[in-house]
Amino acid sequence: MTEIEKRQDRSPVPSAFDYAPAPESRDVVALEDRYGLFIGGEWVEPKSGDYQPTISPATEESLAEVAYGGPEDVGLAVESAREAFENGWSDIAPSERAKYLYRIARILQERSREFAVLESLDGGKPIRESRDVDLPLSAAHFFYYAGWADKLEYAFPNRKPKPLGVAGQIIPWNFPLLMLSWKIAPALAAGNTVVLKPAESTPLTALLFCDVVRQAELPPGVVNIVTGDGRAGAELVKDSRVDKVAFTGSTEVGKEIQRAVAGTGKKLTLELGGKAANIIFDDAPLDQAVEGIINGIYFNQGHVCCAGSRLLVQESIYEQVIAKLKRRMGTLRVGDPLDKNTDIGAINSKQQLEKIKELVAAGEEEGAEIFQPPCRLPEKGWWFAPTVFTNVAQSYRIAQEEIFGPVLSVLTFRTPDEAVEKANNTPYGLSAGVWTEKGSRILSMSQRLRAGVIWANTYNRFDPASPFGGYKESGFGREGGRHGLEPYLRFE
Amino acid sequence: MRLPVKKTYKLYVGGAFPRSESGRSYEAEGANVARASRKDIRDAVRAAREAFPKWASMTAYNRGQVLYRVAEIMEGRRAQFVELTGDEAEVDAAIDSWVWYAGWADKLTQVLGSSNPVAGPYFNFTFPEPTGVVGVVAPEEPALAGLVAHLAPVIVGGNAVVIVASQKRPLAAVTLSEVLATSDVPGGVVNVLTGKKDELAPVLAAHMDVNALDLSGAEGEWEELERLAADNVKRVVANGDGQSPWHVAAFLELKTVWHPIGV
């Protein structure tokens, strides 16, 4: 009997409804056996000679071999970006730059199903999310920033905005194409060229994006994609011909990058980790709040930097909220990411699964009470059942550290002051949630929570027009909106 | 003949004027000036952190009036500052700088913030907030105008400050502290330390309860200080934007709030 099955026996929750499988077809995706690097508008073999497989986390099958760029490859990509910047792209009429970005937005819309399926295949996220969230938002991001390309002087009046040059961009594996869009769209709109390094476990949609670049007839070298691991990222950060570094990922790596660019004068933006509080007051609409809790922590398997991973419940409604939450967790379907009914897909990598297991074990050891609803996890692949911890003290690791998985830690509070103090008691400050029907309380909580994004009576909403980014050790700089242009510009 | 009473030049921490806890001083501009220690930095950061919430939550109108009050009190001691700096134009520039930034207090949100048209039934808006405790290494010259140019823009947005004054010409900073102490700036919002920059700046840069740094006065030491700043992901300004709201913005966070629209 597995650990999960044992838990089923003592679960108060009725077993989930059975659903007939509703898999999305893989036919729409045509994979190459092997992918090179995309430099200067062409596919090139890596000088490093290094290729590694990219694995589907749901089946452990190798989907394709992907080049791992070495120092020489990164150098060539930066050179190509530099050349494209100096010979044409920075002089091109901004209105023409806009039209390239509009083209990209349109092509992403046209090929959205292909991208959605590939995203789920390579990263393990449910097709429902890649189809309904990642892809529409990615296209919208390009469409939004396209319009800014020829309006920069209105965004920054009296400041004479100018592009910086070459942007070196490093993105994570949780929203591969969406993070690419968050990075590339504002960079190009501002008139820069880019070298982007996708995460090592999820390179495929970035590589497919190169075909969008081709179809959009973007001049060669404006977008360069160098796949690889952290070593390629480190090379990119330290290359002296890079004018701007943008990184989304862990706080630990973010600090290393900040150290690496110290004294160089490179512009830097960091979007790092989080340990967001999702705060439920006793006058909240509870059923909506429970949906918000579920969306807050189980969206994308909890692989979300702004995930509502610390639930703060007002004491008077604690029992009620936990009961509703557990019941709702029982209806979550874990499994095949390509199944349209799936709520929780595969854990992105074996390494991430180990990290989640380690922290969950620490939670149990420190004395928290674990609950997992009955759910049968597939034999192959990397999976973790939706998990909630109660009886959590603020000092526990599961209340302090970013788990980046489908694991929720529940704490309680009595007064708004206590909620604020507990919510802010973290080195992070990316996001927070507030649930209450009282408008004045929403506004006062929104002021007092030290985080860059506050979702009131909602959670995990994103939009290209909405600035996103952290306080404290969650990073600096904003992505999205007019504010998201600034990191890619200099002012005379 | 009457012997003039000489002033003891001390630190300004938490609204009080202590000597350095180290008991050290150094000679500058013909006076013995307190030589702050790493412990003084820590005390100053603690004072700043304590003062921060109240200062940050004051209305912008109120903060603007406090900054204007600084200009008023400085104007009253204009002759003393001219004597100290030997430069009338510098003193005037410093006073006018306070007036200019005072006017920004209740305009920053409108200039830097936004209401965002998201594609869904949500009301969404973005507004600036102070980042917290800011460490400033003030320029060596001009000692007074340089100090004000890097102090006023940091506090107008609601931050609390620990500032390391010009090492060679620290007296203007200490005298300015007396102005701050008598012009409705709550104690602890501005903390002024005198001493050796190469001793103090790294402590400030590495302090885990400092949120941002202005290193404009730390010429040549940027690389090491910026590296230390990374330990808690500080926002770092190596060379300011000059007198502008963008310099203010460098020490502000942007917060975005979402709420559903419905009936």
Q: What is the per-residue burial (b if ≥16 Cβ within 10 Å, else e) of A49-64?
A: ebbeebbbbbbeeebb
Same domain membership, residue A427 and residue A437: yes
Same domain membership, residue A202 and residue A346: no
Same domain membership, residue A410 and residue A341: yes
Q: Which whole-number Å values give the CA distances from B158 to A243, B129, B216, in the listed order?
A: 31, 7, 20
Report the SS3 class of residue A405: coil
Burial class (CB in 10 A: 0-12, 13-18, 19+), A362: middle
Q: What is the 3-state secondary structure (H, E, C) of B113-148?
A: CEECCCCCCEEEEEEEEECCEEEEECCCCCHHHHHH
Amino acid occupying residue A168: G
Distance CA A37, CA A81 (A): 14
Distance CA A85, CA A180 (A): 19
Query: CATH number, domain at A289?
Result: 3.40.309.10
Q: Element (H or E) spanning A35, and its range? A: strand A34-35
Distance CA B30, CA B11 (A): 17
Q: Is the overall model pTM greater than 0.80, yes or no?
A: yes
**pLDDT over threshold 80, residue B55:** yes
- Mean of pLDDT values over A199-203: 97
**pLDDT over threshold 70, residue A12:** no
Question: What pLDDT was estimated at residue A446?
Answer: 98
**pLDDT over threshold 70, residue A388:** yes
Burial class (CB in 10 A: 0-12, 13-18, 19+), A217: exposed
The torsion angles phi and psi of A140, rounded to 5 degrees, stand at -60, -35
- Mean of pLDDT values over A35-46: 98
- Mean of pLDDT values over A44-58: 97
Distance CA A46, CA A74 (A): 10
Amino acid occupying residue A60: E
If one counts the domains in chain B, the total is 1
Neighbouring C-beta atoms of residue A17, cutoff 10 Å: 9
Task: Single out the residue of A12, A369, A397, A41 nearest to residue A216, CA to CA.
Answer: A41
The answer to whether residue A241 sits within a structural domain is yes
Distance from CA of A242 to the nearest CA of B (A): 17
Distance CA A286, CA A436 (A): 9
Tokens for B30, please give them: 């013909």
- Mean of pLDDT values over B204-212: 98
Same domain membership, residue A217 and residue A113: yes
- Please state, rounded to an integer, the average pLDDT across all residues of chain A: 95
How many Cα atoms occupy the beta-carbon half-sphere of A186 within 13 Å? 26
- Mean of pLDDT values over A171-187: 98
The answer to whether residue B109 sits within a structural domain is yes
- The tens digit of pLDDT for each residue in A98-116 reads 999 999 999 999 999 999 9
Provide the strand spans (E) within A380-480.
Answer: 387-390, 407-413, 431-435, 453-456, 475-476
Interface of B with A in 35-64 (CB under 8 A): 57
Distance CA A256, CA B213 (A): 18
Same domain membership, residue A257 and residue A317: no
Distance CA B191, CA B134 (A): 10
**Which residue in B has a C-alpha nearest to residue A439's C-alpha?**
B259
**pLDDT over threshold 70, residue A6:** no
* Structural domain that includes position B126: 25-260
DSSP states along A167-179: EEEE--SSSHHHH
Best mutation target, A483, A490, A491, A492, to test chain B (most B CBs within 10 A): A483
Contact criterion met (CB below 8 Å) for B258 and B123: yes
Distance CA B256, CA B114 (A): 9
Q: Do B124 and A255 touch (CB under 8 A)?
A: no
The answer to whether residue A191 sits within a structural domain is yes
Report the SS3 class of residue A447: helix
**pLDDT over threshold 70, residue B172:** yes
Same domain membership, residue A365 and residue A220: no
Question: What pLDDT was estimated at residue A274?
Answer: 97
If one counts the domains in chain A, the total is 2
Contact criterion met (CB below 8 Å) for B156 and B128: no
Report the share of chain A in percent with pLDDT over 70. 97
Same domain membership, residue A192 and residue A157: yes
Contact criterion met (CB below 8 Å) for A276 and A471: no
Task: Single out the residue of A455, A447, A397, A405 nearest to residue A426, CA to CA.
Answer: A397
A305 part of the active site: yes
The answer to whether residue B225 sits within a structural domain is yes
Question: What pLDDT was estimated at residue A10?
Answer: 46
A11: confidence class by pLDDT, cuts 50, 70, 90:
very low
Q: Which whole-number Å values give the CA distances from A136 to A106, A463, A468, in the listed order?
A: 11, 10, 17
| Furthest C-alpha separation in chain A | 69
Best mutation target, B215, B256, B261, to test chain A (most A CBs within 10 A): B256
The answer to whether residue B3 sits within a structural domain is no
Instruction: List residues bridging with A67 in a β-sheet.
Output: A51
- The tens digit of pLDDT for each residue in B5-36 reads 999 999 999 999 999 999 999 999 999 999 99
Question: What pLDDT was estimated at residue A375?
Answer: 87
Query: CATH number, domain at A179?
Result: 3.40.605.10
Same domain membership, residue A484 and residue A450: no
- The tens digit of pLDDT for each residue in A76-86 reads 999 999 999 99
Distance CA A209, CA A205 (A): 6
Report the SS3 class of residue A336: coil
- The tens digit of pLDDT for each residue in A286-329 reads 999 999 999 999 999 999 999 999 999 999 999 999 999 999 99
A17: confidence class by pLDDT, cuts 50, 70, 90:
low
Same domain membership, residue A301 and residue A242: no
Task: Single out the residue of A73, A99, A75, A83 nearest to residue A220, CA to CA.
Answer: A83
- Mean of pLDDT values over B112-132: 98
Same domain membership, residue A449 and residue A367: yes
B220: confidence class by pLDDT, cuts 50, 70, 90:
confident
The Cα angle at residue A377 between residues A372 and A378, in degrees rounded to 5: 170
**Left, alpha or beta for A367 (phi > 0: left; psi -120 to 50: alpha)?**
left
Report the share of chain A in percent with pLDDT over 90. 94
Report the SS3 class of residue A18: coil
Q: Do A454 and B222 touch (CB under 8 A)?
A: no
Provide the strand spans (E) within A101-198.
Answer: 161-163, 166-170, 193-197
Q: Which whole-number Å values give the CA distances from A184 to A130, A171, B71, B140, in the listed order?
A: 19, 11, 46, 41
Q: Which residues of A touch B (CB under 8 A)?
A: 140, 159, 251, 254-256, 258-259, 261-263, 265, 270, 272, 427, 442, 446-447, 451-458, 461, 463, 465-469, 471-476, 478, 481-483, 491
Torsion A464-A467-A473-A474 (CA) sign: negative
A210 part of the active site: no
In this complex, the residue of B211, B223, B257 whose CB is nearest that of residue A456 is B257
Q: Do A463 and B259 touch (CB under 8 A)?
A: no
Contact criterion met (CB below 8 Å) for B116 and A467: yes
- Mean of pLDDT values over A188-203: 98
The answer to whether residue A86 sits within a structural domain is yes
A1: confidence class by pLDDT, cuts 50, 70, 90:
very low
Task: Single out the residue of A417, A412, A423 nearest to residue A471, CA to CA.
Answer: A423
The answer to whether residue B12 sits within a structural domain is no
The answer to whether residue B218 sits within a structural domain is yes
Residues of chain A in contact with residue B255, where contact means CB-CB under 8 angstroms, are 446, 451-454, 471
Q: Do B258 and A455 touch (CB under 8 A)?
A: yes
Residues of chain B in contact with residue A451, where contact means CB-CB under 8 angstroms, are 255
Same domain membership, residue A391 and residue A341: yes
Distance from CA of A480 to the nearest CA of B (A): 10
**Left, alpha or beta for A469 (phi > 0: left; psi -120 to 50: alpha)?**
left
Distance CA A310, CA A338 (A): 29
Q: Do A451 and B255 touch (CB under 8 A)?
A: yes
In this complex, the residue of B114, B122, B246 whose CB is nearest that of residue A481 is B114
- The tens digit of pLDDT for each residue in A445-465 reads 999 999 999 999 999 999 999
Amino acid occupying residue B212: A
Terminal-residue alpha carbon distance, chain A: 68
Q: Do B258 and A265 touch (CB under 8 A)?
A: no
Question: What pLDDT was estimated at residue A16?
Answer: 52
Query: CATH number, domain at B248?
Result: 3.40.605.10
Report the SS3 class of residue A120: helix
Starting at the edge strand that comes first in sequence, how are the strands of the sheet with A475-476 ordered? A42-44, A37-39, A223-225, A193-197, A166-170, A244-248, A267-271, A475-476
- The tens digit of pLDDT for each residue in A404-448 reads 999 999 999 999 999 999 999 999 999 999 999 999 999 999 999
Distance from CA of A321 to the nearest CA of B (A): 21
Distance CA A316, CA A326 (A): 18
The torsion angles phi and psi of B252, rounded to 5 degrees, stand at -120, 150
Interface of B with A in 140-169 (CB under 8 A): none
- Which residues, in sequence order, are CB contacts of B54 under 8 Å at separation 6+? B186
* Structural domain that includes position A319: 3-23+274-456
Going by their DSSP bridges, the two strands A51-55 and A62-67 should be labelled as antiparallel
Pairs of residues, one from chain A and one from chain B, whose beta carbons lie less than 8 Å apart = 111
Same domain membership, residue A448 and residue A331: yes
- CB contact B242 to A (< 8 Å): no
The answer to whether residue A94 sits within a structural domain is yes
Q: What is the 3-state secondary structure (H, E, C) of chain B?
A: CCCCCCCCECCEECCECCCCCCCCEEEECCEEEECCCHHHHHHHHHHHHHHHHHHHHCCHHHHHHHHHHHHHHHHHCHHHHHHHHCCHHHHHHHHHHHHHHHCCCCCHHHHHCEECCCCCCEEEEEEEEECCEEEEECCCCCHHHHHHHHHHHHHHCCCEEEEECCCCCCHHHHHHHHHHHCCCCCCCCEEEECCCHHHHHHHHHHCCCCCEEECCCCCCCHHHHHHHHHHHCCEEECCCCCCCHHHHHCCEEEEEEEEECCC
Q: What is the 3-state secondary structure (H, E, C) of A262-328?
A: CCCCCEEEEECCCCCEEEECCCCCHHHHHHHHHHHHHHHHHCCCCCCCEEEEEHHHHHHHHHHHHHH
- Mean of pLDDT values over A15-38: 88
- Mean of pLDDT values over B86-110: 98
Tokens for B78, please give them: 């204009």
> Which is catalytic among the residues A305, A306, A375, A473?
A305
The answer to whether residue B245 sits within a structural domain is yes
Question: What pLDDT was estimated at residue A22?
Answer: 93
Question: What pLDDT was estimated at residue A15?
Answer: 53
In this complex, the residue of B129, B241, B259 whose CB is nearest that of residue A442 is B259
